[in-house]
Structures are given as structure tokens and as C-alpha cells.
Amino acid sequence: MPCPAPATGTDLADTAIADTRRWLERAVIGLNLCPFAKSVHVKGQIHYAVCPSADPADLLRALHAELLALAAADPEARDTTLLIAPAALPDFLDFNDFLDDAEALLATLDLEGVLQIASFHPRFQFADTEADDITNATNRAPYPTLHLLREDSLDRAVEAFPETETIYEANIAALQRLGPEGWAALDVGPSSASAPAAGPAPKP
């Protein structure tokens, strides 16, 4: 079942995709937060999908469709998917709870071991950190976003970059050097007035 869109759905989707691309280029790739992102971006292998509904049930239906589409697609044409939900689950704890349903859906579709679901949220917060801790920005995107990845692609990436355990530490160090003002200067937040607010910017 397709995800229902409001009358302004097209404009909202276009804005959400543009904002997410800017975040990917300036933060994820620009700060090298993920060493594997640049290749698929340059090759045009990232598929951007938007669920404009505020209803988590609609987002789950959209996730169902995108998981099946990615599993069926040629990896050379579509290696990964970013499913963006600009109006849904603005509360991070609600989003975190939704991830249980997302993982259950992956199992129901018998895609465990084939695909993975990673997550980003404008209010992402690691356990044992304050909300304004700059290190939370490693997992903050302009909107609630589900990143669908192929296990095979992850395996190849790990082979090419065997010290993957150092990525997290390097990201934390990079953001601490950048600081809240540097992060704000990247301008990677939502530009849509209808998007849920991301909360206060990190402060020292």
C-alpha cells in the first residue's frame, strides 16, 4: 500500500530530499563520518524515498515497500536507500520504539542477513550523553531517516576498510574538534517549515 501524501506532499518530498542530500554531502561525506558513503553517492547508487505522512503505520508500510524494492533492485543501480520521514516521529524516544517494528518487519520479510536498517534522527541522543552533546551529531540527520543497506555491500566495505571499529572514535574526535559552532556553520538542518523542529543546537 503506497504511503499517502497530503496536497503539499510533492513539495515536502522535494525539500526533504534536497535537505538530506545537503546533509550527506556536507556532514557525512564532508566530515568523512562514513568512509563508504562517497562511493555510492558519486555513482548515483543511493535511492531517496519520502513518506510524508505523520502516521507511523504509514511509515511502516513505506518501509515494507522500500525493503522489497531494494532487495529486488540491481545493486549497480541501487545499492542503498534513505527513507525520509519529515513529518513522523519527531520525538526521538518514539522513533527509537518504532525501530523495534522496523526490525520485526525485516524478519517477517525474511530479509535478515540480506538487508540492514540503520537510523538517523534530528534529536538523536546516545545513552549517557546530554541532549546538547556535540557527539550526538554523528547520528543526527535533518529528518527521521531509515537507512537501508545491503549486507553484501557492508561486507565488501569492511574488507576494504578492516579497521571499522575506529570509525566511531574518529567521528567523535572530529565532531569535538568541529564544535557546536562548526556544526551549525555546516547548515545541515531542515529547511522545510513543515518539518518537526530538531531542538536546540548543541552547546559547549
What CA–CA distances, in Å, run from 195 to 20, 149, 191?
12, 25, 8
| Amino acid, single-letter form, for residue 69 | A
Q: How many residues does the chain have?
A: 204
Contact 141, 95 (CB under 8 A): no
Q: Which residue has the higher pLDDT, 10 or 182?
A: 182
- pTM of the complete model beyond 0.95: no
Residue 9 has a pLDDT of 67
pLDDT exceeds 50 at position 29: yes
pLDDT digits (tens, 9 = 90+) for 128-175: 899 999 999 999 999 999 999 999 998 887 777 767 778 888 999 999
Distance from C-alpha of 40 to C-alpha of 125, rounded to nearest angstrom = 27
> In the structure, what pLDDT confidence band is assigned to residue 189 with cuts at 50, 70 and 90?
very high
Strands laid side by side in the 145-150 sheet: 46-50, 80-84, 145-150, 115-120
